[in-house]
Amino acid sequence: MANTFEVKNPATGEVLQTITRHSETEINDKLQAGYDAFHTWKKTNAHYRAKLLTKWSALIQDNKQSIAEVMTKENGKPLTESLGEVDYATSYIDWYAEEAKRIYGRTIPTHADGKRLLVTRHPIGLVAAITPWNFPAAMMTRKAAPALAAGCTFIAKPAEDTPLTTIRLIELAHEAGFPTDVVQHVNGRGSVVGKLFTSSSLVRKVTFTGSTPVGKQLIQQSANTVKNVTMELGGHAPLIIAEDADIDLAVEQTIASKFRNAGQTCICANRILVHSSIRDIFADKLTEKVKELKVGNGLEDNVQIGPVINKDGYTKIANQVDDAINKGATLLTGGTYDIDNEKETYFVHPTILNNVSDDMDIMHYETFGPVAPITTFTSLDEAIQVANDTPFGLAAYFFTNNYKIGTYLSENLDYGIIGWNDGATSAAHAPFGGMKESGLGREGGSEGIEPYLETKYISIGNFLE
């Protein structure tokens, strides 16, 4: 088994770096080092940890341009999106630098004389994170920042497609003053490292962003050591446009949601449900705008859609588009590809499919590509039924200016994140996470530090009254 892997630019095929995978012994040594470091790190005070986090964030911002360039080179997303992701990544560090100071316990009114009842909060231990290629900076800091703020030690395994951003961020964490064993990374295959992380009794928490099948496997593997797990898994977001919606706003926000990172996000709109009375006007306006999106190497000016990450990603997208067309969908734009199998570069032109029906794969499986399928509904309950008819429950969007319709949809859509007239919901200070098979737990917001904390109850007796 090769112990190295190449990190390639998905826009050009250029090999950016060859990386050596850590051996099983090296990974176990790192876990031991992280476990040992926990015993001193957990004793640091919250304000000190906050200061280090603030310094880390500032160093990342000082290096924003070079980090964004590395991200675009390894992931393919347009440079403007990478620059935005650096800000998004540091917003998690900034938020949890503040939250570190608010890890409060409580006292409980007692049931008996001479007693005092206290609740205190403690870091959970060594945290192992498996992070995805689609947001190589923000998904790592969304896990590392609350873990470190809570007093946990942290080890990350970045995706093999995009390890360079993570490695750079961890170097900067050390430069900021985090001890090397407190924040670490390992390189290796997901299946190998995942097994070591989940089976090690030194690791108290596993946090993962990625696909639902892999998440299920990690949950199963974590059962033996009863680990705390946070799982940010797949989505299949419906985007509902009600009869009264502001169509121009719906078009603009659909594009923001659907085509961010070439449609390679877990929360991007994957099924567009439009009221039948406005379908044609919405579809026309959307098509007109989508045709203007520029596809290319993300380092070039004005490019809005980069390549998809790899051949598997492209194949899945192309199969869904073919399946929909074969079953009667109409192509309003796109459906074309610039691929070079030798260089392994895969560009998918932004695609809109009309007259999509329930028998098509795209209505049931996450696409992870720049393809917008449009279908219609005639009643709100029909839209809700279709929207909820999936094992996933990460993000849902709807467009209406009618408060009764909006409230009804908010209350009846079984999703962890709801965008109402909003296609860009993510924020460090808000909880991100899904219902059903989209995951367990939340990241971001005041909720996002909870999974890194244990609760201890202390009952003290024999007080003088």
Q: Which of 152, 266, 366, 443 is catalytic?
A: 266
Q: Which is nearer to ligand SIN, 287 or 426 (CB)?
A: 426
171 noted as active-site residue: no
Query: What gap in Å lies between CA 270 and CA 293, rounded to an integer?
Result: 18
Q: Least distance from C-beta 416 to ligand SIN, angstroms?
A: 12
Tokens linked to 437: 């098979």
> Toward ligand SIN, which CB reaches closer, 172 or 266?
266
Which of the residues 81, 85, 99, 232 is marked catalytic? Answer: 232
Q: Does the active-site annotation cover 266? A: yes
Phi and psi at 146, nearest 5°, equal: -65, -35
Closest contact distance (angstroms) between CB of 354 and ligand SIN is 26
From 51-59, 104-112, 259-267, 408-416, span contacting ligand SIN (CB under 6 A):
259-267
Nearer to ligand SIN, 138 or 242 (CB): 138
Number of residues that bind ligand SIN (CB under 6 A): 8
Q: Which of 135, 154, 259, 314 binds ligand SIN (CB under 6 A)?
A: 135
**Min separation Cβ 166 and ligand SIN, Å:** 15
Binding segment toward ligand SIN, per CB under 6 A, in 17-25, 164-172, 264-272, 357-365:
264-272
Residue type, position 121, single letter: R
CB of 464 to ligand SIN, least distance (A): 53
* Member of 196, 203, 266, 324 binding ligand SIN (CB under 6 A): 266
10 Å CB burial of residue 60 (0-12, 13-18, 19+) is: buried
Pick out residues in 153-192 that bind ligand SIN (CB under 6 A): none
Asked whether 361 and 316 are in contact (CB, 8 A), the reply is no
Q: Which of 9, 134, 257, 376 binds ligand SIN (CB under 6 A)?
A: 134
Please report how close the Cβ of residue 43 comes to ligand SIN at its closest, in angstroms.
32
Nearer to ligand SIN, 198 or 209 (CB): 209
Q: Which stretch binds ligand SIN (CB under 6 A): 61-69, 219-227, 262-270, 330-338?
A: 262-270
CB of 290 to ligand SIN, least distance (A): 20
Q: Of 187 and 261, which has the nearer Cβ to ligand SIN?
A: 261
Q: CB under 6 A: which stretch of 35-43, 150-158, 260-268, 320-328 binds ligand SIN?
A: 260-268
Question: Cβ closer to ligand SIN: 84 or 406?
Answer: 84
Nearer to ligand SIN, 120 or 211 (CB): 211
Residue 263 CB burial class (10 angstroms; 0-12, 13-18, ≥19): buried
Of the pair 266, 453, the CB lying nearest ligand SIN is at: 266
Q: Is 265 in the site for ligand SIN (CB under 6 A)?
A: yes
Q: Restricting to residues 397-456, which ones interact with ligand SIN according to CB under 6 A? A: 426, 432
Shortest Å, Cβ 80 to ligand SIN: 15
- Contact residues toward ligand SIN (CB under 6 A) are 134-135, 209, 265-267, 426, 432
Which active-site residues does the annotation give? 232, 266
